[in-house]
Amino acid sequence: LASREAHPESSVIDVSGVKIGGGQLGMIAGPCSVEDRDRMMRIAESVCQSGANLFRGGAYKPRTSPYAFQGMGEKGLELLREVGDRFGVPVVTEVTDPRNVELVAQYADMLQVGARNMQNFVLLSEVGKTSRPVLLKRGMSATIADLLMSAEYVLSEGNPDVVLCERGVKSFDPATRNLFDVAAVPAVQGLTHLPIIVDPSHATGRPDLIPPCALAGLAAGADGVHIEVHDCPEEAKSDGPQALLPEQYEQISQQMRLMADLL
Ligand code: PEP
Ligand code: MN
């Protein structure tokens, strides 16, 4: 169902009115984790002004350590919805547990399946049974073929709205958090009609590398860019060290618009 051979025309995915694919860019921004209300409102107001058309924030966080902050749960979902309604922007959030899919789908406009769960087939089938668009992130050790097969799990349950995301793969070099596989963008587009966006935040883990990699992703033909933004990275509950400040996001947004206009 995902293959370009079967469906030559590129799919356009509608996320509560925001279209991704076929030349329309999904610009996703927001903090790694949903945090307190004032902070969420501040960040959302800023990134939306800068041109983000989707707001993100995790309420259920897949953390390496069970002792690390696990997310605000349903309170976080409520907050995210409030932010989305206030600024009129669709919201994206991760669902980590098949038992929570229905709950998360009540609040979120788009369901994110994270890298660590890309091959959680029960979760994929459950999100496939909803009518919410899905943001499916490539696993850190997953091949492109694996990614497309995971998309197939969602599509085969009857949910046609899948956006893929390249967010870096494991490498031998600790200089960056992951290795940004920019070639995956055109490679995936050759194989599937589904849109693919890039996430230079998780791909690099370094604020200084996010802007150039965001532009590289767009130059390679990506259908959008996902960037983590926080107004006080030292206080962030997760992924602070890789967050862009709102003013840095404003700057890269302008550059991304210029790059998009060139293409
Ligand atoms: C995230 O988007 O905050 C996240 C956990 O991403 P990934 O699944 O790509 O690591
Ligand atoms: Mn994160």
Name the closest-CA residue to atom 1, ligand 1.
Answer: 32
Q: What residue ranges do the domains of the chain occupy?
A: 13-262
Answer yes or no: is the C-beta of 58 below 6 A from any ligand 1 atom: yes
In this predicted structure, what is the pLDDT of residue 40? 98
Domain 13-262, CATH: 3.20.20.70
In this predicted structure, what is the pLDDT of residue 259? 96
pTM of the complete model beyond 0.95: yes
For residue 237, the ligand closest to its alpha carbon is 2
In this predicted structure, what is the pLDDT of residue 89? 98
For residue 165, the ligand closest to its alpha carbon is 1
In this predicted structure, what is the pLDDT of residue 249? 98
Pocket test for ligand 1, best of 35, 92, 116 (most atoms within 8 A of CB): 116
- Cβ–Cβ < 8 Å for 205, 176: yes
Question: To the nearest 10°, the Cα dihedral for 9, 137, 152, 192?
Answer: 20
6 alpha carbon to ligand 1 midpoint, in Å? 30
ipTM of this predicted structure:
0.99
- Cβ–Cβ < 8 Å for 59, 72: yes
Answer yes or no: is the C-beta of 168 below 6 A from any ligand 1 atom: no
Measured CA to CA, the distance from residue 242 to residue 225 in angstroms comes to: 15
237 alpha-carbon distance from chain centroid:
18
How large is the average pLDDT for residues 75-101? 98
Please give the structure tokens belonging to residue 209.
């590398």
- Cβ–Cβ < 8 Å for 161, 151: no
Label residue 81 by pLDDT band (50, 70, 90): very high
In this predicted structure, what is the pLDDT of residue 108? 98
Answer yes or no: is the C-beta of 115 below 6 A from any ligand 1 atom: yes
For residue 236, the ligand closest to its alpha carbon is 2
Q: How does the average pLDDT of the chain come out, rounded?
A: 98
- 90-148: per-residue pLDDT in tens? 999 999 999 999 999 999 999 999 999 999 999 999 999 999 999 999 999 999 999 99
In this predicted structure, what is the pLDDT of residue 109? 98
Answer yes or no: is the C-beta of 177 below 6 A from any ligand 1 atom: no
207 alpha carbon to ligand 2 midpoint, in Å? 13
Measured CA to CA, the distance from residue 59 to residue 32 in angstroms comes to: 9
Label residue 152 by pLDDT band (50, 70, 90): very high
- 167-217: per-residue pLDDT in tens? 999 999 999 999 999 999 999 999 999 999 999 999 999 999 999 999 999
Answer yes or no: is the C-beta of 202 below 6 A from any ligand 1 atom: yes
In this predicted structure, what is the pLDDT of residue 215? 98
Residue 55, SS3 per DSSP: strand
